[in-house]
């Protein structure tokens, strides 16, 4: 069979969902075009470590072309898809038309500021390499500026760091930032009294990591407090002007730093799809991940809305995206062979969140862990997962060294 007569699978997005689907189709009788606006796959679970200067971008981002060097049925295209034409079966990539036989929409998510413009304008967030680097530069600059600030109130505002959102990301950022301050900044800024520095974690509800069992929520709170993170519950943000946070209950917090971790919505290109929606712009798919009325289109990852057996929405997590990427790829194989489509069922591998070094909370095999054991599980799992991309002993050693000894050299303030 001539290669050009093979069915053409277009995959939008080289995140966890798209990457998994593309790999799974390696030996399938298809031509694959994988499209992403970046030339790299981003290992999102460790991105927050770029923001707190523990890792550098090349440790969490891997060039797509390198990953697929040996996969002959795949072409990579870097660019922005601005249109999906479901009826005529093509996507538009920076103006050029790419026709598809099967389409996998794995375009991921972007921050959701819920329409609060002042926050969107003034807050930091950690969703891509650029915003993570911007956060890093800002955090480090605050310390440099504080060394030159004689006014004690202004200095305290510079050294007050507010993180909004008590989900896993917010918890991880707060814990890691508190440790950066107490372990590293204390040594590197002898002219500052770093006890002036505060890390605040603002949660609108009354619990951290709301989807975890109660004992883990409590353990998380305890571990954060031990690291001197001040957790504020029922803290509903109304405004942030870059100098001050305003809460619904009238509280004002003087700070130059707000890191927003409180919401994700689907990518813009997904919003343009004519389809039924759930919250955050997610598309309601068939259980087979197909778009209703368009069986040749599969939606995976953050963009897809499905519920588990308890009628809870599946979370926007890499584990969901990976499993869905596999199922979408399998279903394309089935479709080509004229076989029936299989439904997607999420196998929950557990939940994990670190709270700085040596501390984490984990829920695995129906068991809850917290503290050092959970942290060891977290380290092992992430090294295992990241090795899948790099497979290089030296990188693992380097990464582990940096992580264990907090001795890495990522604390650069760059002017990008």
Catalytic positions, written as ranges: 172
Give whichever of 373 and 397 is closer to a second copy, judged by the CB atom. Answer: 397
Give whichever of 38 and 326 is closer to a second copy, judged by the CB atom. Answer: 38
**Cα dist from 57 to 112, 280, 353, 354, 373, whole Å:** 23, 28, 21, 20, 28
Residues 26-55, mask of contacts with a second copy (x by CB under 8 A):
------------xxx---------------
Closest CA to 263 of 169, 199, 356: 169
* Interaction between residue 4 and a second copy (CB under 8 A): no
CA 136 – CA 161 distance, rounded (Å):
12
Q: Are 161 and 124 in contact (CB under 8 A)?
A: no
Give whichever of 39 and 182 is closer to a second copy, judged by the CB atom. Answer: 39
Is beta strand 31-36 parallel, antiparallel or unpaired with respect to 8-12? parallel
* Interaction between residue 97 and a second copy (CB under 8 A): no
CA 138 – CA 130 distance, rounded (Å):
12
Structure tokens at 294: 């368009």
The footprint of a second copy on this chain (CB under 8 A) covers a number of residues equal to 46
The single residue among 80, 83, 94, 215 that binds a second copy, judged by CB under 8 A, is 94
Residue 366 has a CB neighbour count (10 Å cut-off) of 8
* Interaction between residue 182 and a second copy (CB under 8 A): no
* Interaction between residue 413 and a second copy (CB under 8 A): yes
The single residue among 16, 62, 298, 369 that binds a second copy, judged by CB under 8 A, is 62
CA 191 – CA 178 distance, rounded (Å):
19
Q: Of residues 126-145, which lie at the interface with a second copy (CB under 8 A)? A: 129-130, 133, 140, 144
CA 278 – CA 321 distance, rounded (Å):
17
- Minimum Å gap between C-beta 60 and a second copy is 10
Structure tokens at 76: 């990579």
Q: Helix, strand, or coil here: 129?
A: helix
Choose the binding region for a second copy from 252-260, 274-282, 349-357, 406-414 (rule: CB under 8 A).
Answer: 406-414
Chain-centroid distance of CA 252 in Å reads 29
The single residue among 63, 349, 350, 371 that binds a second copy, judged by CB under 8 A, is 63
Residues near a second copy, by CB under 8 A: 38-40, 56-58, 61-63, 65-66, 69, 75, 77-79, 94, 96, 129-130, 133, 140, 144, 147-148, 187-189, 191, 390, 392, 394-395, 397-398, 401, 407-416
């Amino acid at each position: 069979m001539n290669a050009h007569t093979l069915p053409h699978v277009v995959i939008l997005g080289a995140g966890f969902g798209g990457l998994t689907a593309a790999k799974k189709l390696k030996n399938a009788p298809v031509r694959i075009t994988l499209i992403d606006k970046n030339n790299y796959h981003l290992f999102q679970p460790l991105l927050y470590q770029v923001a707190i200067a523990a890792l550098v971008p090349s440790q969490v981002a891997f060039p797509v072309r390198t990953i697929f060097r040996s996969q002959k049925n795949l072409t990579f295209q870097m660019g922005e898809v601005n249109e999906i034409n479901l009826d005529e079966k093509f996507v538009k990539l920076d103006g050029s038309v790419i026709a598809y036989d099967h389409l996998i929409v794995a375009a991921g998510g972007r921050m959701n500021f819920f329409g609060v413009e002042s926050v969107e304008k003034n807050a930091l967030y950690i969703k891509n390499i650029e915003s993570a680097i911007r956060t890093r530069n800002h955090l480090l600059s605050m310390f440099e500026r504080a060394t030159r600030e004689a006014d004690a109130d202004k200095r305290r505002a510079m050294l007050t760091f507010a993180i909004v959102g008590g989900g896993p990301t917010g918890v991880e950022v707060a814990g890691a930032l508190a440790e950066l301050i107490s372990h590293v900044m204390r040594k590197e800024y002898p002219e500052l009294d770093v006890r002036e520095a505060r890390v605040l974690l603002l949660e609108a509800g009354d619990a951290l990591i709301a989807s975890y069992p109660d004992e883990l929520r409590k353990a998380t709170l305890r571990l954060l407090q031990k690291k001197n993170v001040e957790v504020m519950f029922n803290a509903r943000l109304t405004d942030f002007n870059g100098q001050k946070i305003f809460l619904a209950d009238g509280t004002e917090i003087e700070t130059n730093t707000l890191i927003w971790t409180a919401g994700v919505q689907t990518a813009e290109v997904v919003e343009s799809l004519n389809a039924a929606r759930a919250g955050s712009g997610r598309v309601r798919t068939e259980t087979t991940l197909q778009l209703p009325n368009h069986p040749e289109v599969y939606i995976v990852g953050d963009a897809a809305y499905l519920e588990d057996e308890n009628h809870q929405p599946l979370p926007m997590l890499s584990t969901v995206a990976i499993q869905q990427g596999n199922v979408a790829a399998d279903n394309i194989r089935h479709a080509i062979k004229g076989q029936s489509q299989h439904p997607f069922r999420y196998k929950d591998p557990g939940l994990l969140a670190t709270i700085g070094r040596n501390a984490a909370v984990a829920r695995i095999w129906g068991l809850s862990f917290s503290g050092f054991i959970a942290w060891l599980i977290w380290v092992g799992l992430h090294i295992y997962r990241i090795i899948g991309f790099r497979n290089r002993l030296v990188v693992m050693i380097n990464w582990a060294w940096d992580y264990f000894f907090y001795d890495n050299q990522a604390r650069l303030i760059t002017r990008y």
